[in-house]
Structure 1
Amino acid sequence: MTRRGAVSLLAVAALSIPITGCSSNGGSGGQQSEGEGGAANAGGETEAAATTRTVTTDKGDVEIPVNPTTIVSDYYLGELLAVNVKPVIASPYALNNPFLAGMCDGIEPMNVTSAETSLEMIAAAHPDLIITITEADVDKYSAIAPTVFIQDGARTDEELFLYIADLVGRKEEAQTYANEFNDNVAAVRDEMRGIVGDRTVSILEVWPQEIYTMGSHFARGGSILYDMWGLKAPEPIQTAMVDGDEAYEVISLEAMPQYAGDFILHGVLDGTDSAFVDDSTLWANLPAVKEGRVLQYEQVAFMHRDPITLKNQLQIFIDFFRAHAE
């Protein structure tokens, strides 16, 4: 399955996560750097500043406010919070990200009981900008407010962050944030490669009676490990999910040893009984398990790829590999 085909899996995961009570009111929008400022006409008078601008989206051009102040997002949240912009409504899936704890006060979780309840809640908030990952909802959302559809997997993590920041007039702040992150990743790259050497790193995630493995295209910090640090995955993962375009692969317990690296990142879907893996002889006999080179990660958090999540993942990875330095 390609990374563009992964939205359905994200939707399934979102439904499996309980809604928490981040509630209150209000939101803040960014100041737009483009299209503002009056222009003097021939008579010396100043024309009114532009209040809207046209942006290119993954579903055509859309006219949006220059300074959106009431924003709704049905998926993307960390990208906004990283540049100090709070939507008034956000996906409960995104609000449950532990890495965003303490940042979501004042954001209402979208009522996802049904499509109708979601639309009613959004309409009642009178947004001036909606940002969505769901192409099927674009027409419904557009009837309420200007809507920007962002196709999942169509951009790198950094490109996605800068694109979203630009929608709310904070691209410059986002670039500063991204530059600092990139510098921090690069600063330890040689150290991490030296620790790992020619050994491999894999991401294995347990879902109900299924094992998922990911490369660099499906969050979980894979872009840091494989793209930015250049660490290697076991051959089936490296070929299809790092060098290739596959987002993830579902594997059997029996096939797991072929996908298990010398270092393993091991996550469990929230509420899943992972005993069929953890109590198996195959798992117990993996070299990484025997030698304690397994990083247990918080699956709800690691499913995201926003800049705040990536910053936290980076530190977790650094601490993990340094603990195994010889």
Structure 2
Amino acid sequence: MKKTAIALFGLLLLILSACGSSDDSSASGSEKETNETVTYESETGAVEVPADPKRVVVLASYAGNVEALGVDIVGVDGWAKKSPVLAEGLEDAETVTEDDVEKILELKPDLIIGASTTKNLDKFKEIAPTVTYTYNKLDYLAQHVEIGKLLNKEEEAQKQVDDYKTRAKEVGDKIKAKIGEDTTVTVIEKYEKGIGVLGDSWGRGTEVLYQAMGLKMPEKTKEVTKKDGYMMISEEVLADYVGDYLVTSQYSDQDNSYQESELFKEIPAVKEGHLLKADANAFLFNDPLTLEYQVDFFEEEFLK
């Protein structure tokens, strides 16, 4: 009887030991998966980044790209926070700037995304793997796929791009069928020291209108925006650059009194009711979420 009890006790110890070993192995495997990295070929060279990033800080205009791919953002710049399109996904993210090194350290990011012009990059690289992009080095769709590569979600990013191109073309075809193939559209934004006439890749819906939908820009506007992507002009000469339709990207808290002047009201596009007023905060970026919003806006405004 005593020998039987000892044998049973020994068997119990073996079972408990095996369970403990299994748990340790599982925990170790989970930890390994969490810490797994991949090599990403960035503009500045190879960077070891998380295979499945969980806490990303975005210090450039790519917050919507990251959000669209379902990756959690713990820190983001103030411009992205102002976007009503991105607001829900950024609700829990802290507002940070390139100068907030200590604040970003406290957020414990596992990946930081910035621009090539972002300050304090050396300090950020000490906090977490840091990847930067040069604005407009890639076109807006290639940029999204590239961010998909960084986040290990390239296939998902490519699908989002393909879906957007299909829908934007469909809506663009409907718009051109209504207003005419040769009808021209101008996009502007008011700044402190004048008005910016925008080219075909300067956000504010320009990529959607000109690239995806295939709408035309006035030749004079195309010429002056070719070099820098935009051109600053005065209110007095605005009419020279406005096509058959005018899109104004504007902020609710800015002075838009120029639109009350007789000079503005006499612009043919304005007189004919071809003025589309867009929320600048919702039109600032060109990520998939913002692009979807812009396609919806243009479909409603042009086809109503």
Using structure 1 for the length normalisation, give the TM-score.
0.78
* Matching residue within 212, 228, 232 for 2:196: 212
Which whole-Å CA distance do the structure 2 matches of 1:299 and 1:105 have between them?
A: 20
Which whole-Å CA distance do the structure 1 matches of 2:230 and 2:252 have between them?
A: 18
Q: What amino acid does structure 2 have at the position aligned with 1:51?
A: E
Which whole-Å CA distance do the structure 1 matches of 2:260 and 2:91 have between them?
A: 40
**SS state at 2:54 partner:** coil
Which whole-Å CA distance do the structure 2 matches of 1:189 and 1:278 have between them?
A: 27
Which whole-Å CA distance do the structure 2 matches of 1:59 and 1:130 have between them?
A: 14
Runs of 5+ unmatched residues, structure 2: 1-31
**SS state at 1:179 partner:** helix
Q: What amino acid does structure 1 have at the position aligned with 2:148?
A: A
| 2:38 pairs with 1:53 | yes
Q: Which residue number corresponds to residue 73 of structure 1? A: 58
Q: Which residue number corresponds to residue 91 of structure 1? A: 77
Q: Which residue number corresponds to residue 94 of structure 2? A: 108
Which whole-Å CA distance do the structure 2 matches of 1:264 and 1:135 have between them?
A: 33
292-301 or 166-175: bigger deviation: 166-175
Which whole-Å CA distance do the structure 2 matches of 1:107 and 1:73 have between them?
A: 10
Using structure 2 for the length normalisation, give the TM-score.
0.83
**SS state at 2:91 partner:** coil
| 2:303 pairs with 1:322 | yes
Instruction: Classify 1:245/1:86 alpha carbon distance in 2 versus 1 (closer, same or farther; 3 Å).
Output: farther
Which whole-Å CA distance do the structure 1 matches of 2:120 and 2:288 have between them?
A: 25
- Measured after TM superposition, the shift of residue 245 of structure 1 is 4.2
The aligned runs of 1:109-124 (5 Å cut-off) are 109-110=95-96, 112=97, 115=99, 118-124=100-106
> When you count helix as a share of all residues, which structure comes out higher?
2
**SS state at 1:56 partner:** strand
Q: Which residue number corresponds to residue 208 of structure 2? A: 224
Q: What amino acid does structure 2 have at the position aligned with 1:173?
A: E
Which whole-Å CA distance do the structure 2 matches of 1:65 and 1:281 have between them?
A: 57
| 2:247 pairs with 1:265 | yes
State the Cα deviation string for residues 138-176 of structure 1 (Å, max 9, x = none).
222112111000111111111111111221222222222
Q: Which residue number corresponds to residue 272 of structure 2? A: 291
The question of whether the paired residues in 1 share the 8 Å contact of 2:63 and 2:80 is answered with: yes
* Matching residue within 140, 146, 154 for 1:157: 140
| 2:110 pairs with 1:128 | yes
Q: Which residue number corresponds to residue 33 of structure 1? A: none
State the Cα deviation string for residues 203-225 of structure 1 (Å, max 9, x = none).
12112241111021110111111
State the Cα deviation string for residues 172-191 of structure 1 (Å, max 9, x = none).
22222222111111223322
- Measured after TM superposition, the shift of residue 248 of structure 1 is 0.9
Question: Percent of aligned positions with the same letter in both sequences?
Answer: 31
Which whole-Å CA distance do the structure 2 matches of 1:262 and 1:299 have between them?
A: 21
Which protein has the larger Cα radius of gyration, Structure 1 or Structure 2?
2
Which whole-Å CA distance do the structure 2 matches of 1:135 and 1:120 have between them?
A: 16
Which whole-Å CA distance do the structure 1 matches of 2:252 and 2:121 have between them?
A: 29
Instruction: Classify 1:270/1:143 alpha carbon distance in 2 versus 1 (closer, same or farther; 3 Å).
Output: farther
Q: What amino acid does structure 2 have at the position aligned with 1:210?
A: G
The aligned runs of 1:195-206 (5 Å cut-off) are 195-197=178-180, 198-206=182-190
Q: Which residue number corresponds to residue 5 of structure 2? A: none
Which whole-Å CA distance do the structure 2 matches of 1:166 and 1:149 have between them?
A: 13
Q: Which residue number corresponds to residue 171 of structure 1? A: 154
Which whole-Å CA distance do the structure 2 matches of 1:308 and 1:300 have between them?
A: 13
Which whole-Å CA distance do the structure 2 matches of 1:142 and 1:103 have between them?
A: 25
Q: How many residues align?
A: 269
By relative contact order (CA 8 Å, sep 6+), the higher-ranking structure is: 1
Which whole-Å CA distance do the structure 2 matches of 1:209 and 1:146 have between them?
A: 39
**SS state at 1:103 partner:** helix
Q: What amino acid does structure 2 have at the position aligned with 1:67?
A: D
State the Cα deviation string for residues 33-58 of structure 1 (Å, max 9, x = none).
xxxxxxxxxxxxxxx87922221222
| 2:130 pairs with 1:147 | yes
Provide the alpha-carbon RMSD of the alignment. 1.8
The question of whether the paired residues in 1 share the 8 Å contact of 2:54 and 2:72 is answered with: no
Q: What amino acid does structure 1 have at the position aligned with 2:160?
A: Y
Which whole-Å CA distance do the structure 1 matches of 2:250 and 2:170 have between them?
A: 30
